[in-house]
Every structure is written in structure tokens, then in C-alpha cells.
Amino acid sequence: MRTVVEQAVAPGYRMLRRLKNRVLNLVDAPVIVLAYHRVTRLASDPHQLAVKPENFRAQMQHLRQNCRCVRLNEEWSGLREPAVAVTFDDGYADNLHEALPILAETGVPATVFVSTGMLGNPGEFWSDDLARQLLDGGDYPPSFELRDREHGGRWPAASPAERQTLHDRLHRAMLKIEPPRREDWLGQLARWSGRGGTARATHRTLTPAELRELSASPLVTIGAHGVTHTPLALLPEAEQRREITQSRRELEELLGREVTVFSYPFGGWRQFDGTTRRLCREAGFRRAVTTFPGQVHRWTDPLQLPRQLVRDWNAATFAARMESFRV
Ligand SMILES: [Zn+2]
């Protein structure tokens, strides 16, 4: 909730930001990096990661007609007009089956960042698995007990509202624990809910063969996104290094080409830090993207590029948002 004072000064800040961007844009044409995850139609999308195919088509048509579209792994220094780079995080199978045909139809290039631990993995991303365990509908036991030395407890889970609250609580906590402990919690949940097993068809990730097919498109660049989709800043340095270098090496071996761009899993201020950036530089990445908003200028740290998250917007909303990203 914003205070009265914050509400009163917000329009002034927005005006100042626009003014600042106008001046900066005269000096240097910005690149707007857009962040997508999925192009598909989902019955339930708790983190709003999916853009429906018809909206994605309208968005790409808008970019093709109104913007200069650039690639994340190319040189941007000679740009004289504002440009846009499209990126996808995670590596869902729909990137090949639903997004690529629309990219090909509109000629818009895109970079797909892949978490290599999920390549060909029969399960789901941990955050999807958590949502499936708790938000799937049907019957549930009346309460859930988590056995954990630090976060353990028992919470009501009989109603959809109680399960939503429990989901949000566990999701927040799971952003702060390491992968083996996360897997243990998901195992406890699966035994309790009776849900689990192989991935739902709607939440499948790319297989290695599908990734090669996606990467064969001249419009697609593949980047790394860690191995286990864990916020890197919470891991010890050696583990961070392994996530960064192993995801790069696995992709390079699979694709037979150099991987030079990285996306920090979850990508917010608390989810990567100075150590993470240094490790990315040492691993040889030339650019790395975050999830905090902003424009990219020639003075922006290449290992900390802001991105604008795109939601399931129709053509008119997308056009208005693009306008606001540019000024
Ligand atoms: Zn991600």
C-alpha cells in the first residue's frame, strides 16, 4: 500500500523519469529488452507467465511494423534509433511449438534462456510443481504439515483460499532454500496431495532434440539460465559457479556453438549479486539480463541489463506499454 505522500509525489517522479529518459535518448538510442516466458493458453497461470498465441502474434506484428528488432548477442553501439530485443526465460516446450512459428511469420528474432537441468526432464519446474500440488482443484486433506528444521509447521488447506495462501507462503520460502531441500519439500507435498509424477502436457519443458530444432532457426539465439532454476545469490560461491558454467557448457556441447548470454534465474535485486556478476564475467558471458525494468544504454553494465516483463496484453495495451517503455 502506498502512503498518501508517495501517491502525491508519484506523478512528479514519473514526469522526471520521462524527462530524464527523453534527454538520455537524445544522447543514445535505447534498447528495450522484453522478457517473455511462455506462449500458450493455460487454464490457470498463477505467475502470469503465459501470453496467448493471438496476443503474441499481435505483439510481434506491432514490433515488426514499429520498431527496429535486434538480437541480444549482437553489437548495439552503432544504433541510431530505439531498438527492441525479445527474450524468453526458462525453456518451455511451447517456445518451439507455439512461439517460433509466430516469430518466423513476423521475422522477429528472439533469445531463449534455458535452465539445463530441465532439458528433457520428465518433471516440471519446481514453481509449476508447487502450483500443481496446491492449486489444481479437486479434493485435498484438511491441513498440510511441512517437516523442516527452520520453516516447518502445519497450515489449513481445505479451501482454495487456504491453499492459495499456503502456496504463496511456500513459494516465498522456496526462493530462499537450496535445491535439495526444495526437492524434499516437493516430495512431502506430493505424498500429501497425491499429485505429482511426470509433467502435465501443458507444462512440459524442451527436450534436447527440441532445443536443437529451436536453435536451428536463424531467428533464435540460445542463452544460459543456470541448471536448477535457483536464485543464485543464496548459493555458496562454488555452487553459483557450477550453475553458471555448467549451464553454459551443457548448451554448447548440445548445440555445437558458443553461448555468450545469460539470464539470472528470477533476476531481481536479491536474486543475484556482485559475486554472481563476477562469476558470469569470469565464465565468459558478454551480456546478462535481469528482471528489473529500464532501458539499456551504451553506459549500462552489460552484466546487469534491465528488461521489461510482458504480460498477456492485447495489441492496444501492448502498444501503450511499448510507448511507456520508450519514454
Ligand atoms: Zn526463469
- Looking at the structure, tell me whether residues 115 and 219 fall in a common domain: yes
- Looking at the structure, tell me whether residues 95 and 131 fall in a common domain: no
pLDDT digits (tens, 9 = 90+) for 154-213: 999 999 999 999 999 999 999 999 999 999 999 999 999 998 788 999 999 999 999 999
Provide the mean pLDDT of the chain: 93
The per-residue pLDDT for 1 is 46
In Å, what is the CA distance from 84 to each residue of 63, 194, 261, 323? Answer: 8, 45, 16, 12
Q: Is residue 199 part of a domain?
A: no
Please give the average per-residue pLDDT across 76-103, as a whole number. 95
The per-residue pLDDT for 326 is 82
- Looking at the structure, tell me whether residues 91 and 174 fall in a common domain: no
How much helix, strand and coil, in percent to the nearest 5, is found in the chain?
Answer: 45, 15, 40
Domain C-terminal end among 168, 193, 218:
193
Those residues whose beta carbon sits under 5 angstroms from the ion ligand 1 are 89-90, 265
Q: Is residue 200 part of a domain?
A: no
Query: In whole angstroms, what is the distance from residue 21 CA to residue 252 CA?
Result: 38
Do 220 and 100 form a contact (C-beta atoms < 8 A)? yes
The per-residue pLDDT for 166 is 97
The parent domain of residue 168 ranges over 126-193
- Looking at the structure, tell me whether residues 152 and 114 fall in a common domain: no
Q: 126 CA to middle of ligand 1, Å?
A: 11
The per-residue pLDDT for 135 is 93
Please give the average per-residue pLDDT across 258-279, as a whole number. 96
- Looking at the structure, tell me whether residues 41 and 150 fall in a common domain: no
pTM, rounded to two decimals:
0.92
Which residues are within 8 A (CB) of 42 and not within 5 positions of it... i.e. 6 or more apart? 50, 202
The per-residue pLDDT for 2 is 53
CATH of the domain at 48: 3.20.20.370
The per-residue pLDDT for 104 is 98
Strand stretches in 253-309, DSSP E: 261-263, 287-289, 308-309
Q: 288 CA to middle of ligand 1, Å?
A: 13
What would you measure as the largest C-alpha separation in the chain, in angstroms?
61
Q: 242 CA to middle of ligand 1, Å?
A: 17
Q: 125 CA to middle of ligand 1, Å?
A: 9
Pairing state of beta strands 153-156 and 143-146?
antiparallel
In Å, what is the CA distance from 157 to each residue of 140, 148, 161, 175? Answer: 7, 18, 8, 21
- Looking at the structure, tell me whether residues 218 and 297 fall in a common domain: yes
Instruction: Give me the half-sphere count of Cα atoms (radius 13 Å) on the Cβ side of residue 270.
Output: 3
Band of pLDDT at residue 25, cut at 50, 70 and 90? confident
pLDDT digits (tens, 9 = 90+) for 225-243: 999 999 999 999 999 999 9
- Looking at the structure, tell me whether residues 11 and 110 fall in a common domain: yes
- Looking at the structure, tell me whether residues 9 and 146 fall in a common domain: no
Q: Is residue 134 part of a domain?
A: yes
The per-residue pLDDT for 16 is 77
- Does residue 222 come out as left (phi exceeding 0), alpha (psi in the -120 to 50 range) or beta? beta
Please give the average per-residue pLDDT across 8-28, as a whole number. 72
- Looking at the structure, tell me whether residues 152 and 301 fall in a common domain: no
Band of pLDDT at residue 20, cut at 50, 70 and 90? confident
Q: 265 CA to middle of ligand 1, Å?
A: 5
- Looking at the structure, tell me whether residues 285 and 225 fall in a common domain: yes
Band of pLDDT at residue 136, cut at 50, 70 and 90? confident
Would you state the torsion angle of the CA atoms of residues 32, 36, 40, 46, taken in this order, to the nearest 10 degrees? Answer: -130
Band of pLDDT at residue 7, cut at 50, 70 and 90? low
Q: 3 CA to middle of ligand 1, Å?
A: 32
Pairing state of beta strands 68-69 and 308-309?
unpaired
Do 221 and 72 form a contact (C-beta atoms < 8 A)? yes
| SS3 annotation, 152-166 | CEEEECCCHHHHHHH
pLDDT of 4 above 70: no
pLDDT digits (tens, 9 = 90+) for 282-309: 999 999 999 999 999 999 999 999 999 9
The per-residue pLDDT for 119 is 97
Band of pLDDT at residue 17, cut at 50, 70 and 90? confident
Q: 226 CA to middle of ligand 1, Å?
A: 9
Residue 192: exposure state from Cβ atoms within 10 A (0-12, 13-18, ≥19): middle
Look-up of cell digits 510507448: 323
Q: Is residue 202 part of a domain?
A: no
DSSP string, 17-52: HHHHHHHHHHHS--EEEEEE-EES--S--TT--EE-
Q: 141 CA to middle of ligand 1, Å?
A: 31
Q: Is residue 218 part of a domain?
A: yes
Strand stretches in the chain, DSSP E: 31-36, 38-39, 50-51, 68-69, 83-90, 110-114, 143-146, 153-156, 220-224, 261-263, 287-289, 308-309
Reduced to 3 states (helix: H, G, I; strand: E, B; else coil), residue 296 is strand
Q: 90 CA to middle of ligand 1, Å?
A: 5
Q: 180 CA to middle of ligand 1, Å?
A: 18
Report percent pLDDT > 70 for the chain.
Answer: 96
Q: Is residue 313 part of a domain?
A: yes
Q: Is residue 288 part of a domain?
A: yes
The distance in angstroms from the start CA to the end CA of the chain is 26
Query: In whole angstroms, what is the distance from residue 295 CA to residue 327 CA?
Result: 9
- Looking at the structure, tell me whether residues 24 and 130 fall in a common domain: no
Name the domain count of the chain.
Answer: 2
Band of pLDDT at residue 6, cut at 50, 70 and 90? low
- Looking at the structure, tell me whether residues 33 and 140 fall in a common domain: no
Residue with the larger pLDDT of the pair 229 and 16:
229
Look up residue 268 and give its three cell numbers: 531481481
Q: Is residue 201 part of a domain?
A: no
Q: What are the φ and ψ backbone dihedral angles of 286, each rounded to 5 degrees?
A: -95, -25
